[in-house]
Structure 1
Amino acid sequence: MTMRLAAAATLTAALAAISSPAIAADSIAGRWLTEDEDAIVSIGKCGESTCGRIAKFIVPPPDGLDQRDINNPDPRLRKRKLLGLPVLFQFAEERDLWRGRIYDPKSGKDYRSVVRRKSANTLEVKGCIGPFCQTQIWRRAK
């Protein structure tokens, strides 16, 4: 019996030593220029999760810097200013990427999203409906 326990302990230790460690996702925190180059999104901690807020407009929206979230399907949210609005929310690290939701203020819709750090200065941002995804590349803002 002791021989079996010793063999099991040795096998467990060997498996633990050769198993590969979990890959951690690179941080997505920072200020990022959207692919359309119309806004800068600031990504950081928001309570227990990570979110991204519109920090600056490069191209002002139609109603100027005071533009409201007029396309939101929820009438109670249509008075929110776009500047400072979370467009990435509920993001959590999952191995080598981040999963959450992305909001498009132009359509008023939100989508499943995956964000992956491609390099020190680029993010791959995907918004998905079912199996179909649209990908954008965001660049680090200067």
Structure 2
Amino acid sequence: MKRLLIAGLGLAAAAAFAQTTPVGLWRNVDDKTGEAKAEIRITETAGGLSGRIEKILRKDAKPDERCNECADERKGQPMVGLEIIRGARKADGKDVWEDGKILDPENGREYRLRLTPVDAGKKLEVRGSFGPFGRTQTWVRAQ
């Protein structure tokens, strides 16, 4: 009985820890309309975190939409599958991932990235900045 209790507590702790990382499926929400725009899957790679658009949710989205504003190798690539997050790493001693880049496919610009899980990992604060300027979006974990 004691072993089952210890195993159960270990599994619960592992599940709670897994939810406090940015790894997983997220919905980003338009700052102005409050509508979900896309689902982004964040994975962990040897080079840090990577995030790709898995699904476009905007009502006016075209199925063959491409990143025409991108300036690097992503130019002309389909939006679905497009890598928009690159290289963020966990900061020492904090539940924050930084030093990566995030691409805004609507304007083709890349920004310095900071990811902070909040609300027990149910939400993710996504901060993109350029010099002293930036903005933070709150993404919601997709179920």
- Please say whether Structure 1 and Structure 2 have the same fold, judged by a TM-score greater than 0.5: yes
Does residue 27 (structure 1) correspond to residue 21 (structure 2)? The answer is yes
Please name the residue that 1:21 is paired with.
none
| 1:115 alignment partner in structure 2 | 115
Deviation at 1:67, TM superposition (A): 1.1
Query: Residues of 1 paired with 2:79 and 2:29: CA distance?
Result: 18
1:96 Cα offset (Å): 2.3
Does residue 71 of structure 1 match 2:69? Answer: yes
| The structure with more radius of gyration | 1
Q: What's the offset of the Cα at 1:70?
A: 0.4
Aligned partners of 2:21 and 2:95 also within 8 Å = no
Correspondence for 1:46: 45
User: What is the aligned partner in structure 2 of residue 80 from structure 1?
Assistant: 77
Find the aligned partners of 1:60 and 1:127 in 2 and give their Cα distance: 25
The 3 A distance-change label for structure 1 pair 51 and 125 is same
Indicate if the aligned counterparts of 2:50 and 2:88 stay in contact, CA closer than 8 A: yes
TM-score of the superposed pair, with normalisation by structure 1: 0.74
Matches within 5 A, 1:103-142: 103-119=103-119, 120-142=121-143
Distance in 1, Cα, partners of 2:46 & 2:78: 21
**Number of residues of Structure 1 aligned to a counterpart in Structure 2:** 115
Displacement, 1:47?
3.4
Cα distance change on mapping 1:137 and 1:73 into 2, 3 Å: same
Partner SS, residue 29 of structure 2: coil
**Equivalent residue of 1:50, what SS?**
strand
CA distance in 2, matches of 1:110, 1:61: 24
Contact 2:29 2:138 in 1 (8 A): yes
Q: How far 1:46 moved relative to its partner?
A: 3.0
Counterpart contact for 1:61–1:67, Cα < 8 Å: no
SS at match of 1:65: coil
Structure 2: runs of 5 or more not aligned: 1-19, 31-35
Q: Secondary structure at the match of 2:116?
A: strand
Q: Is the 8 A contact 2:90 2:96 kept in 1?
A: yes
Unpaired segments ≥5 residues, structure 1: 1-25
Judged with a 3 Å threshold, the aligned counterparts in structure 2 of structure 1 residues 61 and 102 are, in CA distance, closer, same or farther, namely: farther
